[in-house]
Amino acid sequence: MLTSFFSKSTPVNYLLLSTAIIVSYLLRVIFLDNLNVNPVNLLTHAGLMLLMIFVVLLLDFIIRKNHVTGNNTFAIFIFVLFIVLTPSVYIEITILLSNVFLLLATRRVLSLNTEKNVEKKIFDAAMYITIASLLYFWSLLFFIVLYFGIVNKTQRRPRFFVIPFSAIIAIGLLFISYQLVVYDNLDWFIPWPTIQDFDFSSYNNLSLLVPAILIFALLLWTGSIRFFQINTLSKKEKPAASSMATIAIVLLAITLFGSHNNGSELIFIMMPAAITTANYVENRPTKERTIFNEILLWFILIVAILIHVI
């Protein structure tokens, strides 16, 4: 059964999930959308598939390194199902790349729970967030997560609060220099701050509405349960759980404030939704709860498959 298979971490799990990403991408994005295939397109498609596999492996590394979930592959399994469910995440490459940099920033923020190389971790996180925001403006909100991590440290020093600005200035100067050398102008800045018009008419399409409802519902339901469990968690689990609560709220805001509204922005909330759902599934205090968890995983899997035949 699914709960038994993904309660372990074996090479077969990773191979199966990587295959699922590749197959779903090929079936949905290439064959069903009738794309014109040429050598350049093939390289682009291969790059997108490899990038998504990298995202899954990076998410798994973050989870294991920071004790976000137990020693299982529930989170990346659910994350992959979300990807299969929502192929529109491939539409905007800038959003996909922005999400990658926010994941890298998440890794550094969660590692602030230890006192080793704190300044470097803060600088790295700020650097990743700045790059992410150049790709997708509202990623700037992730600085809230970084400062939340700094404030929650047991040993806070004034310089910790200044370090992010040095990263912002460094990346900003590099990017401005590149624009001046290559394009001899700064026209990129005019359309950079994007304003949400809150026009969600594109979600009238079932292929977007169903994934959005499912992902949001799982995040709100399992996220609320996880939030109220924080005080009961072990000393090892509590810091990561507190940080993940903030991350979930900020990523939800980034998703809602974005201006694309074509489904690609759902990539931002897939990570916290997958993690909180995994936290719920791995908790099996009774036989009835185990059965329910099994049904829940099968439900997500079946919806991810059926959405493509609607």
HEC string of the chain equals: CHHHHCCCCCHHHHHHHHHHHHHHHHHHHHHCCCCCCCHHHHHHHHHHHHHHHHHHHHHHHHHHHCCCCCCCCHHHHHHHHHHHHCHHHHCCHHHHHHHHHHHHHHHHHHHHHCCCCHHHHHHHHHHHHHHHHHHCHHHHHHHHHHHHHHHCCCCCCHHHHHHHHHHHHHHHHHHHHHHHHHCCCCHHHCCCCCCCCCCCHHHHCHHHHHHHHHHHHHHHHHHHHHHHHHHHCCCCCHHHHHHHHHHHHHHHHHHHHCCCCCCHHHHHHHHHHHHHHHHHHCCCCCHHHHHHHHHHHHHHHHHHHHCCCC
pLDDT of residue 192 exceeding 70, the answer is no
pLDDT on residue 188? 66
pLDDT at 30: 64
Instruction: Note the pLDDT of residue 198.
Output: 66
Q: What is the pLDDT of residues 247-303, one digit of tens each?
A: 999 999 999 887 667 888 999 999 999 999 999 999 877 788 889 999 999 999 999
- Mean pLDDT across the chain, nearest whole number? 88
Average pLDDT, integer, range 192-205: 70
pLDDT for 45? 84
Q: What is the pLDDT of residues 120-139, one digit of tens each?
A: 999 999 999 999 999 998 99
Number of domains in the chain: 1
**In Å, how far from its chain's centre is CA 104?**
10
Read off φ and ψ for residue 255, nearest 5 degrees. -65, -45
Contact (CB, 8 A) for 144 and 246: yes
pLDDT at 178 over 70: yes
**Domain containing 252: what range?**
2-306
Check residue 36 and give its pLDDT. 61
What is the pLDDT, as a whole number, of residue 143? 97
Could you give the CA distance from residue 251 to residue 70 in angstroms, rounded to a whole number?
Answer: 23
Query: Which stretch of 96-110, 118-132, 209-223, 254-268 has the lowest confidence by average pLDDT?
Result: 254-268
Averaged pLDDT, 302-310: 84
Average pLDDT over residues 143-172: 89
Q: Which residue has the higher pLDDT, 235 or 126?
A: 126
**In the predicted structure, residue 235 carries a pLDDT above the cut 70:** yes
